[in-house]
Structure 1
Amino acid sequence: MTDRQPYRVVARHPGFELRRYPAHLVAEMQVEASFTRAPLEAFRPLAAYLGGANRARHPAGLTTPVMPEATGTEKIPMTVPVVQEEGERPGAYLVQFVMPANSTAATLPEPVDPRVRIREIPAQLAAAMRFSGRWTEQAFGQRATALGRAVTAARLQPTGAIRYARFDSPWKPWFLRRNEVVLPVVE
């Protein structure tokens, strides 16, 4: 079973949950592509990182007995969701794989692919709207607009970019997929 990113529900409002997310690490990649193509283009390099395309930070031991040398790769368990948000310029998206909750910057190996980077996301309060359905720009856009309006109606102030979260594989029937739009808000 795939681990899920931890959070704590702080309150429930009409149309969304207010959640507290702990600080966490992501492996991320910026992609210049359409909303629909971006996660497809980022998936292979990010999945390769999880699968062992990394430089394990385990130095060879200097004590006896001598152990066989590590292969230099380490597999990292998959965690959901896969997150997408708008990049720094139009037509660019940041696609992120959330790293396991017990990961630290010191324990995660360095990616081999220079396009993949590890970054810490600080703890934050965020509004989240859950829905099922297809992964289209229109479906996410409609929910993002509704979430923005609900957050404003609750007198909360957004503090960052909206994130689009996918929890299921593409093989899961679209009507059973768990998706979310998440918007960081001021404490």
Structure 2
Amino acid sequence: MRRINTPDQALRVLRIALILGLSLTGACAIATEEPAFIVSLAQRDCEVREYPALVVAEVSVTGDRKAAASAGFRLLAGYIFGGNTARQKIAMTAPVVQAAAVGQKIAMTAPVLQSGGNGQWLIRFIMPRGSTLESLPSPNNPRAQLHNIAPARMAVARFSGLARQDRIAAKTAALAGFVNAQHLQAIGSPSLAQYDPPWTLWFLRRNEVMIPIAPVAAN
């Protein structure tokens, strides 16, 4: 075992231990619920999932991907932390989803969802299980909107670590290859789903790229 010989070394070890503790406890405390889904096909890091109908809070944000994700998160966090007509706190779920806004809304379900195009992004929080448009309080900020999301079939590629642009691009390409190889039909643009709070250590972070695909044809 390596010895700690100086006060500076001891301080560095203490900081690492504190950050690790915050990451582990924060991840458990904040993201306690994830939407249910059924896996109908799995191959290495790629899956096809069947998601039920969901209710989401959504905001449209302009900017680069990272800045838009941060701004959208703050706006939606304001809603669930009491910025609503009932001053009601709503449980945080995972993931947060980000997708490019390209003229029509992406039929995306679960995580925080982030997607975008031409600098316009949709950021989504999934509302807790059992939520309805009638039971949820209205957001105080008119930029935040509540929507029903229909049941959806999603092709998903999982990856850990930081969601850098090069990794997102590589996983998106791999997922597109999976969709083609399995003779599936993409019906929307890719989205990025992130499951962890920003202080989570990079090697503990869970991310996914998602592509909506056509449902199985009825016989």
TM-score, normalised via structure 2 length: 0.75
Candidates 97, 107, 110, aligned match of 2:125: 97
- Displacement after TM superposition at 1:14 (Å): 5.0
* SS at structure 2 position matched to 1:139: helix
134-143 or 166-175, which deviates more? 134-143
Unaligned runs of 5+ in 1: 57-72
Q: What percent of counterpart residues are identical? A: 39
Whole-Å separation in 1 of the counterparts to 2:146 and 2:165: 26
Whole-Å separation in 2 of the counterparts to 1:164 and 1:36: 11
Residue aligning to 1:110: 138
Corresponding letter in the other structure for 1:49: Y
Deviation track 1:10-47 (CA, whole Å, cap 9, x = no partner) reads 12135411100001011111111101111111111100
Whole-Å separation in 1 of the counterparts to 2:45 and 2:174: 8
Whole-Å separation in 2 of the counterparts to 1:8 and 1:131: 19
- Displacement after TM superposition at 1:170 (Å): 1.1
Whole-Å separation in 1 of the counterparts to 2:152 and 2:84: 29
* SS at structure 1 position matched to 2:50: strand
Corresponding letter in the other structure for 1:29: V
Aligned: 1:21 with 2:51: yes
Q: Which has the higher contact order (CA 8 A, sep 6+)?
A: 1
TM-score, normalised via structure 1 length: 0.88
Residue aligning to 1:69: none
Which structure has the highest strand share of the two?
1
Corresponding letter in the other structure for 2:59: M
Whole-Å separation in 1 of the counterparts to 2:149 and 2:186: 16
The list of structure 1 runs, each at least 4 consecutive aligned residues, that deviate by more than 4 angstroms after superposition, is none
Which structure has the highest helix share of the two?
2
Aligned: 1:74 with 2:102: no
Candidates 91, 98, 101, aligned match of 1:84: 98
Deviation track 1:80-103 (CA, whole Å, cap 9, x = no partner) reads 000000013511110111111110
Whole-Å separation in 2 of the counterparts to 1:150 and 1:80: 25
- Are the equivalent residues in 2 in contact too, given 1:15–1:147 (CA < 8 A)? no
